[in-house]
Amino acid sequence: MAEIQPFRAVRYNPDVAGDVSLHICPPFDVITPQLQQELYDRSPYNIVRLELARRGLSEDPYEQAAETSQLWLDSGALKHEDEPSIYVTEEVFEYQGQKLFRRGFVAAVRLEDYDQEIVLPHEGTRSEWVADRVRLMEAAQSNYSPLLVIYRDDLRSSVGNLIRAIAGGEPTALFTPPDMPQFRLWRVSDPGTIGVLQRALADSEIFIADGHHRYEAALRYRSGVRAEREVGHDESINFRIMLMVSFDEPGLITRGYHRLVESATDDEIAGLIDSIESMCELEEWTPPAGQTTAEKIEAFSTALGERKGDEVIFGLYGKEPGMFQVARMKAPPATDSALENSEYSRLHSLIIRPVISEAREEQVISPHHDAGLIARQIESGEARFAMIMRPVPLAEFVAIVTRGWRLPPKATNFYPKPPAGAVIQQFGDRL
């Protein structure tokens, strides 16, 4: 049974911090060093100083995040809400030439072990990223970015209709950052309205769309605290803030999560190329003229299209200098498993794993969605080539998740990612 609760959030106080649009940032795992510096320069209150302790600029970035957070609270730049609330959200963005809206709500959701089959994962995780988030929670006693999760609305779309009605009013806060989707926030503290949401979703499964590392970090942190002391049932460390979006929401978009080959030895690169050439038929793709490399990668990704049936297709950029190639896997072993049929699983099990051990994969294969970063890495020689992936179809996602299976790490790329800093969860005795 999913337990959804309001929480007493911490939010930016514009009277002290100024323009709140300058203070939010993407979640930690998609911030490049270049973007990190841009965010630092954008505002002295940008939440990247707290969210990205992993690549902080001090000797102890986690303690630095904690100290900075307390300074902002003491100065009034950050302020606790007066009462527990949930937050209806609306993200406005463009995708493939269309203006889209994605509505949902942020609430505190009780942490559940995966074997309870209430909160359902679909990806593996990387241990060092989980450990990084645990260290940040230990030091800062806070969560700065909500997970993105998906739920099933009822046949009458009662939750969706309620959210749309709330989003028709004047927003509590409006964020218009220069390089992220517009983000609107409506604070809801009315117990009756909150109760409708709680009852409607009480029997729902919650599917993690984005945030597996942060969720597993929350479970690990809770376990660590429980080992040291008794934890009250309603203590805030039993909950994690999540942005909840319906499966039926039109703005629920998935993109490909590409694989960049970097930090590989000559033998590993040669082995990967041999594996690709033996398992796949390759066909050159000619990009439109007059585009930057990043634009060509984006166009290539679009040209690969959507997956149909059990075909396994991915793109290659840079295997041959400056060349784009479509890789079509030759008849892979037949299976009825949605997990094993996944393009990401096929790529990892049949092409990557025979050459790159699991222990080495984290160093050699780097997941990225940013075409600009991929272009820069390859053109600078920091990476050898990229495998351009198609999105996981939503039906395939559901088939995998509901069976308790796990895709390779960073296989799904739901867009946009909820920003860090719009609402903050700070731990305390109660929500």
| pLDDT (mean) for 69-92 | 97
Name the class of domain 257-390.
alpha beta
* CA 96/CA 50 separation, integer angstroms: 32
**Amino acid 54: pLDDT:** 60
* CA 349/CA 14 separation, integer angstroms: 50
**Amino acid 86: pLDDT:** 98
**Amino acid 287: pLDDT:** 93
pLDDT band at 376 (very low <50, low <70, confident <90, very high): very high
**Amino acid 58: pLDDT:** 63
In the predicted model, is pLDDT for residue 59 greater than 80?
no
pLDDT band at 77 (very low <50, low <70, confident <90, very high): very high
In the predicted model, is pLDDT for residue 56 greater than 70?
no
* CA 64/CA 52 separation, integer angstroms: 11
pLDDT band at 55 (very low <50, low <70, confident <90, very high): low
Please measure the distance between the N-terminal and C-terminal CA atoms of the chain and give it in whole angstroms. Answer: 19
Share of the chain above pLDDT 90, in %: 71
What is the gyration radius of the CA atoms in the chain, in angstroms?
A: 22
Judged by DSSP in three states, 430 sits in coil
In the predicted model, is pLDDT for residue 57 greater than 90?
no
DSSP string for residues in 392-424: PPHHHHHHHHTTT--BPSS--EEESPPPBSSSB
**Amino acid 213: pLDDT:** 94
* CA 251/CA 88 separation, integer angstroms: 15
pLDDT band at 409 (very low <50, low <70, confident <90, very high): confident
Share of the chain above pLDDT 70, in %: 98
pTM of the model: 0.87
More confident position, 154 or 12: 12
The least confident of 43-57, 81-95, 338-352 is: 43-57
Average pLDDT value over all residues in the chain: 92
Name the class of domain 4-253+416-426.
alpha beta
What are the start and end residues of each CATH 3.90.1530.10 domain in the chain?
4-253+416-426
* CA 314/CA 389 separation, integer angstroms: 5
Q: What residues does 420 pair with on adjacent strands?
A: 25
**Amino acid 17: pLDDT:** 97
- Longest CA–CA span in the chain (Å) reads 64
What are the start and end residues of each CATH 3.30.1760 domain in the chain?
257-390
**Amino acid 358: pLDDT:** 82
Alpha-carbon torsion 112, 114, 117, 118, what sign?
A: positive
202 C-beta neighbours (distance < 10 Å), count:
11
| pLDDT (mean) for 222-233 | 94
**Amino acid 242: pLDDT:** 98
* CA 354/CA 238 separation, integer angstroms: 41
* CA 29/CA 126 separation, integer angstroms: 11
In the predicted model, is pLDDT for residue 74 greater than 70?
yes
Classify burial at 4, counting beta carbons within 10 Å of its beta carbon; exposed 0-12, middle 13-18, buried 19 or more: buried
306: which residues sit within 8 A by CB, 6+ positions away?
A: 390, 391, 393
DSSP string for residues in 45-111: T-THHHHTGGG-SSSSHHHHHHHHHHHHHHHTSEEE-SS-BEEEEEEEEEETTEEEEEEEEEEEEE-
pLDDT band at 30 (very low <50, low <70, confident <90, very high): confident
pLDDT band at 153 (very low <50, low <70, confident <90, very high): confident
Question: Both tokens of residue 147?
Answer: 């997970």
- Virtual torsion, Cα 28, 29, 35, 40, nearest 10 deg: 20
**Amino acid 420: pLDDT:** 97
Q: Are 124 and 409 in contact (CB under 8 A)?
A: yes
389 C-beta neighbours (distance < 10 Å), count:
24
| pLDDT (mean) for 36-51 | 94
In the predicted model, is pLDDT for residue 172 greater than 70?
yes
